[in-house]
Structure 1
Amino acid sequence: MQAEFEIAVEDERQMAFAAGCLVTAWRDMHRHGDGRLTLASYTLGLGLFVPMAAVHLACVIDFLFVGTGVPGGALLAGASANPVLGWTQARSIPALILLWSSLGVGHLCLAWLLLNRDWLRIFKVGAAVGAATVTLLLLMAVLLLDTTVLISHVAMLAIEFIALAAAARWHARLISNASPGTA
């Protein structure tokens, strides 16, 4: 390969040589276990975690700008007519926005860590995302707010964690099957 590259340099076709190598590597990627894991990781990260982050951050934007025209208007649209409970619900908006934002950022971190295959940090960030989800669910339930949207997020989080566990097992299997010199 080095000799082919030197010939490409002499002909001033380094970019064409590099592009050919890239196309060949891309074409053969699915034939190797590590390549399949890489493709699956990118699919999971870009196809699941990034969209979930966008959904969580869209909830923040929804809380801030949609509804009655005041911050938290969409959240308070279904708020209680009870003045004490309504006051409590209105004062909880910053905490709810912080929790929704942390879920969005957490999902972006999970996507990034998945692509880096940093399983220890994935476990830590996943635990934080799970804790934030449970906290958000409990807070919304205590405030008597509509939790139906969040229930679907909890189900999606369970699917995400199952997919992460499968990817971690797959990676561990690849490492254990690799020869000692390539691990």
Structure 2
Amino acid sequence: MKHINIFLIGLLMLGFSSCKDFLDVEPSNSGDAGVAIKTPADAQIMINGLMRGMTSSDYYGRNFMMYGDAKGGDFTIFSRGRGLDGLYMFDHSPSTGSNSGFWSQIYTNILQANNLLESITKQEATGLTGFNSAKGQALTARALMYFDLVRLYGKSYDDDKSSLGVPNITTVLNASAQPLR
């Protein structure tokens, strides 16, 4: 019994004296939205998170790459209800969620880019420099995402030269923002 008590006391002492910072590691691919970017290195962490979001399975990670081939008839999808058959069958109704991930994932990434650009603008207003690379990457990524949205959801320019594309959101929207109608 004495050995068990000594072992338990030793284990408790070891547990309380362990390294406190060992598990508190800052992520390298995301940042806290509530904390403003202070340095170009912080901006690069946000860029890493933005690029990670662009490689999700609903965007460049998988489905977006198959979308054009499925619509063009280059291959047949026999998914038997696993989510990709709507692409091949041109089934774009509200009841099928086979392609809703494109819209939501791309606009989530655009929100990240807008947050990053707003934070960079605030830092540049205080006189800090060195954000050109991160700002250029965020602007380029946002332009690519809008280009992809227009390719997927925009009407053909040849049919009607005044046809609408997709909502162009270039600022951070607060919770009280209303949808454009």
Q: Same fold (TM over 0.5)?
A: no
TM-score (norm 1): 0.35
**Whose relative contact order is higher, 1 or 2, with alpha carbons under 8 Å and at least 6 apart?**
1
Higher helix residue share: 1
TM-score (norm 2): 0.35
